[in-house]
Amino acid sequence: MGNAIYAKTGNGIVYDGALRDVEGLKDIPGFTSFYTSYDPSFHNPPGDLTTMIVGINQPTRIRKVTVMPGDVVLGKLGVVVFIPPHLAERVVTTSEIVRLRDMFGHQRLREGKYTAGQIDARWSDEIERDFSKWLNDHINELPVGKEQIQQYLKDRTW
């Protein structure tokens, strides 16, 4: 099933159930899977034969979350988040800003310029100004595009 899904869509799977051939799925280049458990019989719990595909591109329930067709699936380190498509750009932009703020904060902590209490709390105006200067000073080296950083600096409010 994993090979068929990947061949048709280029996507992976999110499955609230047991998989049988986890090693085989890991052998598919680019295939990502998030699943509840592993069992040689692929039934969860063993003996439960009620697992079946009930639809494609329709609302479904994964644990406590309702997932809608078109939702963006972000999976990292065993955690899956479903993002409504109208929020995807905002989530990406916010995550890039958080990534940059984390890079700055970690560097300043290593340098001993600020304490963990200062970095892990709401930043003072002084730290915010230092962060803006750091962004400008490192704009060509950062993992976020120069245009996005310039837009962020232009749009941000104190």
Instruction: Flag the least confident range among 45-54, 130-139, 147-156.
Output: 45-54
User: In which element (H, E) is residue 132 found?
Assistant: helix 125-137
The pLDDT of residue 22 is 84
Give the 3-state DSSP-derived string for 10-79, with helices as H, strands as E and coil as C: CCCEEEEEEECCHHHHHCCCCCCEEEEEECCCCCCCCCCCCCCCCCCCCCEEECCEEECCCCEEEEECCE
User: If you average pLDDT over each of 1-15, 88-102, 111-125, 134-148, which comes out highest?
Assistant: 111-125
CB-CB contact of 106 with 131 (8 Å): no
Does 157 or 106 have the greater pLDDT score?
106
The pLDDT value given to residue 85: 96
Residues 85 and 72: beta-carbon distance below 8 Å = yes
Mean pLDDT in residue range 28-54: 71
The answer, yes or no, to whether residue 99 has pLDDT greater than 50, is yes
pLDDT of 158 higher than 70: no
Whether 44 shows a pLDDT value over 80: the answer reads no
Q: What is the pLDDT of residue 117?
A: 96
pLDDT of residue 49: 57
Query: Is residue 67 predicted with pLDDT exceeding 50?
Result: yes
The whole-model pTM stands at 0.69
Higher pLDDT, 77 or 131: 131
Q: Please give the mean pLDDT across all residues of the chain.
A: 86
Q: What mean pLDDT is predicted for residues 42-58?
A: 66
